[in-house]
Structure 1
């Protein structure tokens, strides 16, 4: 089965959501074991030169067919879409043939290496007709999501195409798709401010960038604020409290004070919700635990903002509602109970403990 057919089959089962387990296992897993590593050329300037040589030979022969390329790149180091050698090979060849070859490889190849090359060819011989192909193969988030996002990036009129893909990819595919959307503004910003973070550990790579470049400060302090924006602001802020070494942290986000104050104010006007509560608890705990020499970024605003968060978190309404939503078998809830909730003495966690047959071992 081709990788495209595999993606299409799963997409029919899950048309509006990311594919379970990123669409894995893939049909060609047997020929790509986890420990398989192709050494990178010592001279990085040569990355892609061997792939370009194969393409040059192929395009030089008018009788060659795309089937001949299916396994031609299996033992070669995979170049990026922007690789200059692959780009030059594509530009040296007839554009129509480059498009036809790229489309055939993406749609029919049974080997991921030649699908990658097919995507690269489409990036250098772009046509709007390529969009459905690129979107569909990109649903295999871990393997092709990043390259699919890069292929769509910067192409005229692809905001909708990228948004379609962003709603259906996760992990690294999500990271690259979000990064591509950040260049577009408008409808892309509106989506990013409400949906960019999906709860993946990789959210930390882009949460601060989304907050900055999609203008979170202007959105959350405007008169027109909706629940989706407030909820995702809580997620962004929670991620930014713990993404050290990955991306922009809350301490280095210039409008942090105003955004925190606005979010805390909006939170108090929302109905109780589990994710709302847990994200707010993470943010409040971060503020409460700041050492005296680590408060310069928030200054005198720390106390009133923290008090506003705690006023919601410790209220009878929220405590009672969230207590009924907590799951004793959920490892993240159990971890929060022993850390954040214990430090803040959150009433919602009163009497909370792991179930008799579940021993939490992680935070997810």
Structure 2
């Protein structure tokens, strides 16, 4: 039944040929407004004159002063709008927690949608990022794969909802095991892997990711090749912790499966150059390093103990 009350108001409005968009400005306060695409609202938009529906939707998005009317306006634009509406959809889509689902679907359905979604994806966070990245994965456009491989995960807990789709759509296991892997892909791969270690109940877990072992092995090789940075140190440390007994068993399964990879991450963290990088970052109060040393597992790492580097022994 969700959306039927909205559809009834729209049908009544469009049945009057003299009705103007502003009459709907305060019409939706007392009914439930779905924030996702809704079959009843779409049907109401398709029953009426297309130009009137577009005009009404655009007016509500541009001039509406509450979330109810703007959401309905965006739903109308999403249902029957044109390519010319993309800038309008992108702009309201920046308020993505509320308007992200409709904006993402609307852009996904239009020519040039991939580029429009990428523009929005670089500017939204939280739930909005989930909606936009999921839309990019559904499109499966090769144009989006470089972005998905490098910037999809921004570190938010909600990344867990789309991490598996990103890995599959972007062909992560094929790219990360290939000969030409840059630093951005390597660092982003680490974030994808880390998210999979706590994604139970939200998305694909590391235990269920079919290419987990080969991606972990390739990630370790690229870390060794690229060398340490503060962010890489933190990521390696979090992965080492998450692959052990302190990790989420529902996401990683039996710890023994990951022991070789955990040992390799810990071996990197023990190296002099990695320790020195972490200590330097701690000295300048790098936020990631500070967060790491606040944990019991972080404090036990060699970089944060009193042991000197091998050249000082």
Matched residue, 2:298: 341
Q: Which moved more, 1:314-323 or 1:129-138?
A: 314-323
Matched residue, 1:101: 56
Alignment of 1:279-358 (within 5 A): 279-289=235-245, 294-295=254-255, 302-303=259-260, 305-326=261-282, 330=287, 333-334=290-291, 336-342=293-299, 345-350=300-305
Shift of 1:61: 1.2
- Does the residue aligned with 1:101 lie in a helix, a strand or coil? helix
| Distance 1:141-1:350 versus aligned 2 partners, 3 A rule | farther
**Matches of 1:51 and 1:287, distance apart in 2:** 49
CA contact (8 A) 2:35 2:101 kept: no
1:183 aligns with 2:143: no
CA contact (8 A) 2:292 2:298 kept: no
The counterpart of 1:258, out of the listed 197, 201, 214, is 214
Which deviations, in whole Å up to 9, do the C-alpha atoms of 1:258-289 show, x marking residues without a partner?
00000000001113212211111111223343
Shift of 1:332: 7.7
The counterpart of 1:116, out of the listed 71, 75, 88, is 71
CA contact (8 A) 1:166 1:177 kept: yes
CA contact (8 A) 2:194 2:239 kept: yes
CA contact (8 A) 1:251 1:297 kept: no
**Matches of 1:50 and 1:332, distance apart in 2:** 52
- Unaligned runs of at least 5 residues, structure 1: 1-45, 352-364
Matched residue, 1:272: 228
Higher relative contact order (CA 8 A, sep 6+): 1
Which deviations, in whole Å up to 9, do the C-alpha atoms of 1:178-197 show, x marking residues without a partner?
00000223121221111111
Alignment of 1:1-364 (within 5 A): 46-185=1-140, 186-289=142-245, 294-295=254-255, 302-303=259-260, 305-326=261-282, 330=287, 333-334=290-291, 336-342=293-299, 345-350=300-305
Shift of 1:48: 1.0
CA contact (8 A) 1:81 1:119 kept: no
Aligned length: 300
Which deviations, in whole Å up to 9, do the C-alpha atoms of 1:297-319 show, x marking residues without a partner?
55xxx42x333322321111111
| Distance 1:113-1:251 versus aligned 2 partners, 3 A rule | same
Structure ranking higher in helix proportion: 2
| Distance 1:206-1:312 versus aligned 2 partners, 3 A rule | same
Matched residue, 1:4: none
**Matches of 1:99 and 1:59, distance apart in 2:** 12
Give the root-mean-square deviation of aligned CA atoms.
2.2
Q: Which moved more, 1:273-282 or 1:254-263?
A: 273-282
**Matches of 1:335 and 1:75, distance apart in 2:** 48
| Distance 1:144-1:238 versus aligned 2 partners, 3 A rule | same
**Matches of 2:289 and 2:61, distance apart in 1:** 39
**Matches of 1:129 and 1:147, distance apart in 2:** 16
Shift of 1:127: 0.7
Provide TM-score, normalisation by structure 1. Answer: 0.77
- Does the residue aligned with 2:154 lie in a helix, a strand or coil? coil
Shift of 1:152: 1.5
